[in-house]
Structure 1
């Protein structure tokens, strides 16, 4: 790999790291872009000769300003998707530790639950995984009962 290819690969990796937009940022960007197009093409339809000014002003000024305001708003509210996921996992681990310390869970149960928790990425994934295990467990119980009844 040449130095130029390495530089391009590094730039692509750096750019992909910056693509962590929140849902609010995506919504604001979409609304602002739609408004820029609506105003620009609306002025064109009305026959205004200066309609083209809307596009550079909108895309170079209004859109970055709107996204900056959203980022400021989210930083003041403390929004960060990766932090919220980490916090949820830490909260769940803390609950498991507390239950183990108070004797609600045996060592085997504690280890199994921690392992399952760490296998899932979010609390919602953990709930979905637990629900599927319950469904499988009920299906297994039905099969065992049927086999027991035959004997």
Structure 2
């Protein structure tokens, strides 16, 4: 890949990161509503300094709330990545143990490792295995039907 193509791809990836998450949108909406509620509430009460709420709210409170949400989401995302890594490592360790004890042949071990690494999570691997079993059952039923016709 050329450097210019890589730079363009990186720019496209970074542009996709600008979207706000649902939690960010929710927090922003709540904070904006509270700013307006407090500001216009103070205006209705006849306080002359009601206008202070708007610059403080929009320039201070709103960015701080969004920053806190992003910190929360990044830490939560790191925890999810770590748990996914440990699930994969546990599954690989189980496959290694079964291969070492002779439960799996070399071909079975290699195919299972490939399937595990192709999927994102252990749950995806289970779903994939279930789908393959269903396809196998369907093809077996089809063969039985064709055999009965003969």
TM-score scaled by length of structure 1: 0.69
Task: Give the conservation status (yes or no) of the 8 Å contact 1:96–1:110.
Answer: yes
Task: Tell me which residue corresponds to 2:47.
Answer: none
Task: Tell me which residue corresponds to 1:52.
Answer: 54
Give the structure with higher Rg (CA). Answer: 2
Task: Tell me which residue corresponds to 1:61.
Answer: 64
The offset of 1:83, in angstroms, is: 2.8
Partners of 1:123 and 1:143 in 2: CA distance: 30
Partners of 2:131 and 2:14 in 1: CA distance: 37
Deviations 1:110-144 (A, max 9, x none): 12211211221221221111111111011111011
Which 5+ residue runs of structure 1 have no aligned equivalent? 20-25
Partners of 1:146 and 1:126 in 2: CA distance: 30
Partners of 1:136 and 1:71 in 2: CA distance: 39
Comparing 137-146 and 55-64, the one that deviates more: 55-64
Q: Over the residues paired in the alignment, what is the CA RMSD in angstroms?
A: 3.2
Question: Is the aligned partner of 1:85 residue 2:84?
Answer: yes
Partners of 1:146 and 1:137 in 2: CA distance: 14
Task: Tell me which residue corresponds to 1:145.
Answer: 144
Task: Tell me which residue corresponds to 1:43.
Answer: 38
Task: Tell me which residue corresponds to 1:131.
Answer: 130
CA distance change for structure 1 residues 102 and 33 in 2, over 3 Å: closer, same or farther?
A: same
Partners of 1:9 and 1:104 in 2: CA distance: 49
Task: Tell me which residue corresponds to 1:114.
Answer: 113
1:6-25 residue pairs with structure 2 within 5 A?
9=8, 12=11, 15=14, 19=17
The offset of 1:28, in angstroms, is: 5.4
Partners of 1:110 and 1:11 in 2: CA distance: 37
TM-score scaled by length of structure 2: 0.70
